[in-house]
Amino acid sequence: KSPSPRQNMPVRYFIMKSSSLQNIDISQQKGIWSTTPSNEWKLNGAFWESSVVYLIFSVQGSGCFQGFARMDSAIGCEKSQDWGSAGFGGVFKVDWIRKESIPFQYAHHLLNPWNDSKKVQ
């Protein structure tokens, strides 16, 4: 098996905020996700320019992370009815690695150097 052409490229991480736990449940069941059109170019760019893109999910106001997944495809034009008409863009595949509620307090030692070294949450 030949090595991936992107193996020497950086790994990228994104915090994905969801408006509801139901969206997270749909994603975990179907292995898909959708984001707002304004985020699509950033995620697609990371997908094509990185060896792997990890998405860390959190429901707004929950005080927890709900797990993390790997982005498994670029974002396409096809939309999903799974989230209704909530203003989302195209659908892309995700591979859930861990499905677990983890309180933010367990990650307070993680700081984001690209966001004024604020806590990751």
Residues 77-87 pLDDT 10s: 888 888 766 67
State residue 7's pLDDT score: 63
11-119 CATH choice from 3.40.50.300, 3.10.590.10, 3.10.20.600, 3.30.460.80 = 3.10.590.10
Q: pTM (2 decimals)? A: 0.83
Residue-averaged pLDDT of the chain = 85
Angstrom distance (rounded) from CA 29 to CA 26: 5
What are the sequence ranges of the domains in the chain? 11-119
- H-type helices in 19-64, by residue range? 21-30, 37-49
State residue 84's pLDDT score: 67
pLDDT higher at 18 or 108: 18
pLDDT reading at 72 higher than 90: yes
pLDDT reading at 59 higher than 60: yes
